Homo-oligomer: A and B are copies of this chain.
Amino acid sequence: MSERLYQVQEFAARCGVTVRALHHYDHLGLLKPTMYAESGYRYYSDRDLARLQQIVTLKFIGLSLKQIGEMLDGDAFDGAAMLRSQRAALEERRRQLDMAIRAIDSAERITAGGGEPGRELLTQIIEAVTMENNNELFRKYYTEEQMAAFAERAAANPDEARKGQRDWQELIAEVEASLGEDPAGERGRELATRWAALIKAFTLGNPETEKSLKHFYADSANWPASFKKPYSDEVEEFIGKALKAWNIHI
């Protein structure tokens, strides 16, 4: 029964691969036909078919041809470990994909929801992608529950969230304008107080959240270059001094 020999085309069709792929596998030594005619024609048998099925299967779960070769020919290969690591790799790629999809989603929502059309689209996309990236970064510092809580708050009360953003922008602008003054002066006290209040509005006084927030800012050395602090170094320094001068703790 196993004597039947197939030419490339028929053999390829049986497994849903192309003739070119078979040539390729032959070159790599991954799948050699059972025999070559003198003319060079390749002839495959059912044993080759079984091996090809294995190759196709392992490709399906994302292994490279080199890995497949090691898997099939290596002796005492740990298949279970391979499955685990492959699964992890696939899931990482899926996370990346999800982030990209979410970014597109929010870009579309922004433009659909009354944003200006045309060239502004790029800006919206940038905004959305930046948000996704920031989210990624935050995930390293905040727990899942905290992240979920933020999202919920923002969703439940979007006006509040926007107001918070505006307040921060405003405050930072004012600090920027007051950089010439003395952080230990009256103006410094006012700005530092408002700063602390905004932080409190964000953490809601939750000590866990405060801890995460501090941890986040303390680790700025490890932020990716792409993350942009919402305020300049000068502003940071000014507020730092003012907080210290007036003994305000956050």
What is the interface of chain A, defined by CB distance below 8 A to chain B? 13-16, 53-54, 56-58, 60-62, 79-80, 83-84, 86-87, 90-91, 93-94, 97-101, 103-105, 107-108, 111, 121-122, 125-126, 129-130, 132-133, 224-226
Contacts and interface: CB of A to CB of B under 8 A. Distances in A.
B90 A226 contact: no
Contacts of A90: 97, 100-101, 104
A80 B225 CA distance: 29
A96 to B, nearest CB: 9
A154 B226 CA distance: 49
B87 A101 contact: yes
23 contacts: A14-B225, A53-B126, A54-B122, A57-B122, A57-B125, A57-B126, A60-B99, A60-B100, A60-B129, A60-B132, A60-B133, A61-B100, A61-B129, A62-B100, A79-B122, A80-B108, A83-B104, A83-B125, A86-B104, A87-B101, A87-B104, A93-B97, A94-B101
A109 to B, nearest CB: 11
Instruction: Specify the main secondary structure of chain A where it touches its partner.
Output: helix
